[in-house]
Structure 1
Amino acid sequence: MEEERGLVEKTKRRGGEDELEVRNFSDAIRLWTDESKKLWMLAATITVTSLFTYGINSSIQIVAGHLSALQLSAVSTALTLCSNFTTGFLLSMGSALETLSGQAVGAGQVGMLSIYMQRTWIILIISSILMSPIYIFATPILSFLGQQPDIAVLAGRFALLILPHQFSIAISYPCQKFLLTQSKVLPLAYIAFITLALHLGVLWLFTSVLEWGSTGAAIAYDVSSCTAALFQVIYIMFWCKDSWIGFSWFAFKDLWPFIKLSLSSAFMLLFSDWYSALIVFLTGLLNKAEVTVASVSIWLNINTWEHMLVIGFMSATSVRLSNELGSGRPRAGKYAVIVSGLTTLFIGVVSSILILATWNKFPLLFTSSKEVQDSASTAVYLLAIALMITCIQSTLTGAIIGGGWQGLVAYINLGCYYLLGLPLAVTLGFLFHWGWQGIWIGMISGYMAQTLVLITMVCMTNWKGQVIKAEKRLQFWSGEDQ
């Protein structure tokens, strides 16, 4: 215990005076300029990194879409099942690491980051082992959920092939949070670029030259994800001497409390991920499943691309808020959330206008099927609304993670998504016969309700009280209260 406390005391510091209160227009301009510089320095690099990373996922779906509508539906279904029900679980568990590490950096406890990351490695690797049957038995699972036999078989085969990706994420994601909370984002961008370049080369080799089809795409996916994890570990061990203290037995200490904290974080984000996954599965139950699933997949792909664009602000907001709360600067944290929220709102408006202006063009990027193109070009204003909500949610989610409110928001997501959005999607899609567009209306209704609740929650927050909670949280996890 004394050695563990030494890791804390060795680098402990405070953040200095809090941000000055905004009293007039000139103060607002000064604050906006200063805070925007901090946010954009983080967000721009994180966004580029996310776009490179998602480019791997999207390229696989693009390749599948040009093979056939059936291949696109199968690959999209497999990625949805695995990403939202397994990989999504791992990423969600990791948000606890982001809260603790961000607040520890603000309080100057950088010696604890290595311990937090190793604990997360242990938890995520064990979780990956426990969730492997979802990949192995994907075909019967999808068949049980009502998917068409041809889609279920192809999706199950693809899911089994990408099982190594699951374990690479268990190593890679904690590494990303370790670097992100210290604002060491440039290395992540370089690694993501190298990985994407490698992936595109391997994908071209396996699918175009060797003509392995979706099998080659799955293998390329595994190669790129494992390479990214390896590069991140090497960088941390050799170039992060200030925060990487080496492997430590302290990582196995207090694992159960850490698991409980991670689970509360996981359910907050999982309820959101599973929600969108269920929307895809619902569309698979409609007539002409190949066309409807492909159309929804294209819309979700566009929405995810925008999410990758603003995810930088989600992470930047989380880092800025957690750092400021850990430093004892509540007003600075509040202003960081406000500036980020207004910025992402503007991005949402621009994105919505662009998608409306190209309503009959963007499907061409994803499929050569005229029937799917026509279907995805219908009622595009629904997609524009979703893009707006996604941008606003990015800041709200960052504030939640930075403040450590995941447990409460898990209940909010449960109510808005599963007690409102999902029943409404079923009612409009099946009972009212509005098809996949009715299902989409139900989905965005749940998102809108959740967004309004979170906006109200953030506006009513006692930021000084959050500083006190952050101090108590760090005292517990560093062992100072024992």
Structure 2
Amino acid sequence: MGRGLLECLKQDYKIGLALTTERTIQKIFLIFGFYGKHEDEVKKGTDTCTGHKTPLIFIQLSLEKKMCKPTSSPFTCKCDSNSPYDDMFAPLIPKSPTTNQLQPHINHDPYKTNNKKNHISIFHEVQSISNIAFPMILTGLLLYSRSMISMLFLGQLGGLALAGGSLAIGFANITGYSILSGLAMGMEPICGQAYGAQKYNLLGITLQRSVLLLLLTSLPIALFWVHMKTILLYCGQDKDIATSAQSYLLYSLPDLFSQSLLHPLRIYLRTQSITLPLTCCAIFAILLHIPINFLLVCKLNLGVKGIALSSVWTNFNLVASLIVYILVSGIYKKTWEKVSMECLKGWKSLLDLAIPSCISVCLEWWWYEIMILLCGLLINPKATVASMGILIQTTSLIYIFPSSLSFSVSTRVGNELGARRPGNAKVAAIVGLAGSFILGVIALFFAVTVRNVWAKMFTNDKEILALTSLVLPIIGLCELGNCPQTTGCGVLRGTARPKVGANINLGCFYLVGMPVAVGLSFYAGFDFEGLWLGLLAAQASCMVTMLLVLLHTDWDYEVLRAKELTENSTCSNKQLNEIFLC
């Protein structure tokens, strides 16, 4: 009897040791995201990474088979108890209550079933994101070159035209283009998730709603632009500069219409992973931009008016070429039936996404305009404002790369959530964030390498050269935070959570970055350098906050939200309100 009891205790100890070790490994895997809804495979003795039985499970099965029921022992082994096996695999962080409810409705994640498949899938995800991002980078560079061409022609017209045109462009960005761009992003999660869910008709309806929304928004913007001269004079601007800026904006009014079409069309194509045709259309439009400027500015002598009209003309060329491509290729057939009265319904879901997206974009755009205003209050405003202009152009150039990655990740995450594949969406987010850190390091290396020569392409002024050289390494450090946080914003858009992004931008840029910038510049003696250190503080806090939010994302629950979002045409306003207040 004593010998049997001792033997059973030894058996219990071995079984307990095996289970404890296995539970520890399982929890470590859980922390790094390897365990999820495939715990049932582990319970059966299957390694979710390799598809084979692990040595630890073999030990457990062997012990259960040989020693679970010793005939000489009156005691019962743990493995014979009726307690649920799930208790042995309790996660360190409890799952959302919605997770278990989602399990019967969600496809199993192919990324977690086989280790070899996982590596192949990651490779394919990198390829998928790259196929979207690289054409967008080229498109961004082309559109950036368009603005540079316009500035070169403005510079040829003299100082007054350059000052008036620059003021008008800044005013248009703040009061018009940033708003239209932000509102258009509201359609991105809807179209991305609808495409993944194969609810193609929702893309066409959302496109119609977005165009209508932007056109309606353009009306008060146009009214504001018409009275720009009065506003500028009230703010103390020079009368001649205000008159030149007013002339530029009046001839830019048709651009509000072209932008109201261009932004939704680009998102409509991008959410279907169609980006290369957009690049080809951009090449066509930019090739015509130089001769159009030459005709209007040099031949017809329209001056600032010609610069504004050439930009409008180029945008209409881009819109027309996109529409021609959509019609000729026939991609509209599965997404577009006709102009429907359905576009007048379901605005609740679009506005709940568009307004926070607009706020998020505007908060970031306006930061740089505020920095230019603060430069005018520093010790040497002429040099600091000029250097700030060069540096903002530099950051705009660098921003093309993380923003393109952000758009591609948003598309991939939205498509996978719409297709009810949470694991795939998570992998897309991880791959995108990994790529963003690489971009950040490259941007830092670029900024440090060119710090002594970059400004010489714009000016020979020694003060401006010194200020630019001093701040460029700080900009490189800013990009270490900006690239991941920009990509994180893309993940949030893909999961239809723009409110979170807007709150992060508001808190980090204006409650952290702005006080740091003002304090260092005007009270701590850092002057111009302090403004960029404030931006560094904003970007760093933004990146950390964004990563924390993404780390706690419940991807199974996001699939449920995606399902609800793509079915918004049949949801009541009350149901939609509950969805988007989550």
The two structures have a TM-score, normalised by structure 2, of: 0.74
* Aligned match for 2:368, one of 273, 276, 280: 276
Is the counterpart of residue 86 in structure 1 residue 176 in structure 2? yes
Q: Read off the aligned partner of 2:262 and give its amino acid letter.
A: S
* Partners of 1:378 and 1:69 in 2: CA distance: 27
Structure 2 partner of 1:263: 355
Report deviation, 1:83: 1.7
* Partners of 2:398 and 2:483 in 1: CA distance: 8
Structure 1 partner of 2:314: 224
Structure 2 partner of 1:11: none
Contact persistence 2:197–2:418 (CA under 8 A):
yes
Alignment of 1:169-180 (within 5 A): 169-180=259-270
* Partners of 2:469 and 2:226 in 1: CA distance: 36
* Aligned match for 2:185, one of 95, 99, 102: 95
Structure 1 partner of 2:325: 235
Cα distance change on mapping 1:215 and 1:286 into 2, 3 Å: farther
Report deviation, 1:90: 0.9
Contact persistence 1:85–1:274 (CA under 8 A):
no
Contact persistence 1:202–1:220 (CA under 8 A):
yes
Cα distance change on mapping 1:282 and 1:139 into 2, 3 Å: farther
Comparing 283-292 and 397-406, the one that deviates more: 283-292
Alignment of 1:15-54 (within 5 A): 17-21=108-112, 29-54=119-144
Is the counterpart of residue 249 in structure 1 residue 341 in structure 2? yes
Comparing 373-382 and 266-275, the one that deviates more: 373-382
Contact persistence 2:247–2:304 (CA under 8 A):
no
Structure 2 partner of 1:196: 286
SS in 2 for 1:380: helix
Comparing 394-403 and 152-161, the one that deviates more: 152-161
Structure 2 partner of 1:117: 207
* Partners of 1:166 and 1:370 in 2: CA distance: 40
Contact persistence 1:139–1:157 (CA under 8 A):
no
Contact persistence 1:106–1:327 (CA under 8 A):
yes
Cα distance change on mapping 1:281 and 1:147 into 2, 3 Å: farther
Aligned length, in residue pairs: 468
Is the counterpart of residue 462 in structure 1 residue 554 in structure 2? yes
Report deviation, 1:395: 1.4
* Partners of 1:249 and 1:277 in 2: CA distance: 40
Cα distance change on mapping 1:423 and 1:56 into 2, 3 Å: same
Report deviation, 1:257: 4.8
Contact persistence 2:492–2:500 (CA under 8 A):
no
Contact persistence 1:93–1:263 (CA under 8 A):
yes
SS in 2 for 1:473: helix
Report deviation, 1:208: 5.0
Contact persistence 1:65–1:367 (CA under 8 A):
no
* Partners of 2:114 and 2:241 in 1: CA distance: 60
Is the counterpart of residue 352 in structure 1 residue 444 in structure 2? yes
Structure 1 partner of 2:496: 404
Q: Read off the aligned partner of 2:146 and give its amino acid letter.
A: I
SS in 2 for 1:378: helix
Report deviation, 1:178: 0.9
Structure 2 partner of 1:61: 151
* Partners of 1:147 and 1:334 in 2: CA distance: 51
Cα distance change on mapping 1:207 and 1:185 into 2, 3 Å: same
Cα distance change on mapping 1:362 and 1:73 into 2, 3 Å: farther
Q: Read off the aligned partner of 1:252 and give its amino acid letter.
A: L
Structure 1 partner of 2:250: 160
* Partners of 1:185 and 1:316 in 2: CA distance: 10
Q: Read off the aligned partner of 1:402 and give its amino acid letter.
A: G
Q: Read off the aligned partner of 1:117 and give its amino acid letter.
A: L
Q: Read off the aligned partner of 1:396 and give its amino acid letter.
A: G
Structure 1 partner of 2:80: none
* Partners of 1:74 and 1:363 in 2: CA distance: 23
* Partners of 2:236 and 2:516 in 1: CA distance: 20
Is the counterpart of residue 108 in structure 1 residue 231 in structure 2? no
Q: Percentage identity across aligned positions?
A: 25
Contact persistence 1:50–1:311 (CA under 8 A):
no
* Partners of 2:197 and 2:410 in 1: CA distance: 15
* Partners of 1:67 and 1:360 in 2: CA distance: 30
* Aligned match for 1:130, one of 197, 220, 229: 220
Contact persistence 2:296–2:306 (CA under 8 A):
yes
* Structure 1 residue runs without a partner (length 5+): 1-13
Deviations 1:115-165 (A, max 9, x none): 100001111001011112332233444455566666555444433332222
Report deviation, 1:284: 3.5
* Aligned match for 2:383, one of 284, 291, 294: 291
The two structures have a TM-score, normalised by structure 1, of: 0.88
Report deviation, 1:453: 0.4
Structure 2 partner of 1:8: none
